[in-house]
Amino acid sequence: MKYTKATNYALHIVAYMIKYDKNDNLSLQPLAKHLNMSATYLSKILTQLVKADIIQSTPGVNGGYTLRKKKEDISFMDVINATEGTGALFTCDLQEDDKCHIFKVMTEAENVMETYLQNKKLYEVVPSTTTNGICEE
Q: pLDDT for 61-101, tens place per residue?
A: 878 899 999 999 999 999 999 999 988 888 888 877 677 88
Calculate the alpha carbon distances from 43 to 10, 30, 49, 98, 130 in Å. 11, 12, 10, 40, 26
Report the share of the chain in percent with pLDDT over 90. Answer: 55
Q: How far is the C-alpha of 110 from the C-alpha of 64, rounded, in Å?
A: 35
Question: Which residues partner with 57 through β-bridges?
Answer: 65
On whether residue 132 sits in a domain, the answer given is no
On whether residue 73 sits in a domain, the answer given is yes
Hey, what's the torsion of the CAs at 43, 46, 52, 54, to 10 degrees? -160
On whether residue 23 sits in a domain, the answer given is yes
On whether residue 137 sits in a domain, the answer given is no
CATH number of the domain that residue 80 is part of: 1.10.10.10
Q: Is the predicted pLDDT of residue 133 greater than 90, yes or no? A: no
Classified as helix, coil or strand, 107 is helix
Report the mean per-residue pLDDT for the chain. Answer: 88
Range of the domain at 50: 5-125
On whether residue 21 sits in a domain, the answer given is yes
| Number of domains comprising the chain | 1
Q: Regarding predicted confidence, which is higher, 93 or 137?
A: 93
Full-model pTM: 0.86
One-letter identity of residue 126 = V
On whether residue 108 sits in a domain, the answer given is yes
On whether residue 119 sits in a domain, the answer given is yes
40-49, 78-87, 105-114, 125-134: segment of lowest average pLDDT:
125-134
Q: How far is the C-alpha of 23 from the C-alpha of 38, rounded, in Å?
A: 25
For range 100-113, the mean pLDDT: 92
Chain CA centroid to CA 115, Å:
15
Report pLDDT for 132.
Answer: 52
Q: Indicate the helix (H) or strand (E) that contains 56.
A: strand 55-58
On whether residue 134 sits in a domain, the answer given is no
